[in-house]
Structure 1
Amino acid sequence: MHALVEQATEHWVYLAPLLSDPHSEAEYDARVEALDEILDLVGDDETHPLAGLANRLGDIIESYDEAHRPMPEVSGSEVLRYLMQEHGIAQSELPEVGAQSVVSEILNGRRKLNWRQICELSERFGIATDSFKDPREKLNVLPR
């Protein structure tokens, strides 16, 4: 183990800037750029020697994002509207939701997405079902 500590000591000056939490946008940008370079080297190879570093750097970046760039609270219909715009999809092109009139009611807030619709949209767009959860609604949980 002593040799490992010696190697870490020898290389720490190069790794420390990557593994410390960023305290500014410039430091954050440097971590993101470094992660991009590492991911170009690692690719999909989870056994690559730098895969662990990529994972740790990703955690550091995610932590900074959560603290300094929180996701806005949006409704399921707002997520759906965004996805439709991003993918150039018309209301009539969403069989996962239903007829164009159903899509229109959802987008106008007169109707909510149901669980089946959420699951099918999640699969279609490759995003988590939680993405369609309305953060403004509280769960009705009955006490025991």
Structure 2
Amino acid sequence: MKRRQAVGNLPLMAQTWAQLQAQAHLRPIRSVADYRQMVRLADVLADNLDEGDHANPLMSLFDIVTDLIELWESQYVEIPDAEPREVLRHLMAEHGLRQKDLLDVASQTLLSDILSGRRAISKTVAKKLAERFQVDAAVFL
């Protein structure tokens, strides 16, 4: 009984949530389209909030939206539809890495040969790259 009182009026909460959803589309980000929509919402909120104005009730909404965006960005890596060596080049650029930063994956000579197209990425190196960049090894094969 006490647990129900702590939550409040659930039907009213559902109705209020539905109204907020209709306006802000606030939900977990599960796709690139969701991500883009959430970024647009964050931009609109940022344009209408004064920094440090924690009395504004929209500041909490802005905090939630930016947290969702940061979570998506930390977990999602956009992989271009390209040759494996170009995918590697893209991921290195995205992470600000050079060949010497991947010595735990392969030698600098091997990485140079891969990036120049002289050698293909082996299954072993693909697995190590996948682990390093948190992506499916298939993007390197």
TM normalised by structure 2 equals 0.48
Structure of greater relative contact order (alpha carbons < 8 Å, 6+ residues apart): 1
